[in-house]
Structure 1
Amino acid sequence: MSNSHLFLKSGFPRAPLQNGIGRYVCQLQRVTLKFCKNHGSSRGMREFIENHLVDFAKENPGVVVYVKPRRHRGPVLVGEYLNGDREWLNCRNANKDDISKWLQLLKTQNGSSSSLRLRKMWHTDVPSIQGPWTPFTLRAPEANVATYPNADASRPLDVEQSATDKLIELFKQQRLADKNKSTDEVLEEKRAE
């Protein structure tokens, strides 16, 4: 085990400001694109700025975009988030498609994902050797090769009939029994009541 986690901030995982519960708020506040006008490793950054930066700015009006030319330095993307965190990405020799993917990644993060050592809310003396449970842990192997949409996959597995379904079925049986009786028998039953 390395000791690199000792210098990271630690905390419990949580959604920032309950983001996504009411509406989604993009956590990326500003992006700074730093590049050299002449250096070869900044070619992809310059192409992105010339061809795609205006489109990115129009699609994301809540993100402030700064372009900062610097002499004899490598290209860098710096993302600043609402919680005060900064994400720094080196884009040396990256093409314009890679830079657009990195910008998309910065836009979808909340800033604290890579610089936070996650602490758990529980402790156990005997940890599991199988790893954490996921929704795919106990799935049938046939689901790996199935093509979707699949009617069999949406069918519930041997689920017992619910109480509501039982009542509806009893009601239908009672109505069928009433229809099969003659009207004279029904009138006699009503008089007897």
Structure 2
Amino acid sequence: MSNSHLFLQSGFIRTPLQNGLGRYIPQLQRITLKFCKNQGGSRGVRDFIESDLMDFAKNNPGTVVYLKPRRHRSPCMVAEYLNGEREYLSCHEFSRDEVHKWLSYMCTRSGIPVMRFRKYQHTDYPSIQGVWNPFTHQAPEINLAQYPNDILSKPANQGPTATEQLIEIFKKTQIKDPIKPEH
């Protein structure tokens, strides 16, 4: 098991500005694609720019796309979010599809740094009764029971089944109105 989570920041799930409760605001403010015009490691970024960049810009009108050619440097993406966070990603020897996937990943992120969650739930107004779980109101006998258990398997305080009710109705109709054979 990896210990990399020990070095992550810890915190709770946060939603930026209650995003999505009335309207959705894309959190990616701008993205800068830095690439070299003739270096081999920038080929995937150049292919993406030539073929898919216009479609990306049309589909994401709230995101500003900057292209920054630079000589003899490795390609990278810099994403800037509305909360002021910046994310840097090296795109050295990425294919066109990889550039597209990482770009769509950055578009769907909130910009909040990746963190280790302290709990799976969080509220600003905690309950004094504790956290509910499915076993809160279960009978304590279940903890020590050996299965299969005849007592726990029986339906509690239930009447006859639907099949038994139909058989009773059929028997009552047979007694009241017996079928007379025709001669």
What band does the TM-score fall into relative to the shorter chain?
0.5 to 0.7
AA matched with 2:78: V
Q: Aligned pairs, how many?
A: 121
Instruction: For 2:83 and 2:5, locate their aligned partners in 1 and report how far apart those are by CA, in whole Å.
Output: 23
* Contact map agreement 2:5 2:116 (CA 8 A) in 1: no
Residue 118 of structure 1, CA deviation: 3.0
Runs of at least 4 residues off by over 6 Å: none
Could you tell me the percent identity over the aligned residues? 57
Q: Deviations over 1:22-72 (max 9, x none)?
A: 111111110000111111000010111111111111111100000011111
Q: Is the 8 A contact 2:35 2:69 kept in 1?
A: yes
State the 1:11 CA deviation: 3.0
Q: Does 1:54 align with 2:54?
A: yes
SS at 1:100 equivalent: helix
Provide, for residues 158-192 of structure 1, a one-character-per-residue CA deviation record: whole Å limited to 9, x for no partner.
xxxxxxxxxxxxxxxxxxxxxxxxxxxxxxxxxxx
* CA-CA distance at 1:9 after TM superposition: 4.4
Q: Contact 2:35–2:42 (CA<8 Å) still a contact in 1?
A: yes
Which segments of 5 or more consecutive residues in structure 1 lack a partner in the other structure?
123-132, 134-193
| Structure with the bigger percentage of helix | 1
Output the CA distance in 2 between the equivalents of 1:92 and 1:80: 20
Distance 2:22 2:102 in 1: 27
Quote the Cα distance in structure 2 between the aligned partners of 1:55 and 1:49.
Answer: 10
If the length of structure 1 is used for normalisation, what is the TM-score?
0.57
Deviation at 1:2, TM superposition (A): 4.4
**Match of residue 23 from structure 1:** 23
CA distance in 1, matches of 2:17, 2:66: 26
Cα RMSD over matched residues? 2.2
Aligned to 1:13: 13
Query: Could you tell me the TM-score, scaled by structure 2's length?
Result: 0.59
Which segments of 5 or more consecutive residues in structure 2 lack a partner in the other structure? 123-132, 134-183
SS at structure 2 position matched to 1:54: helix
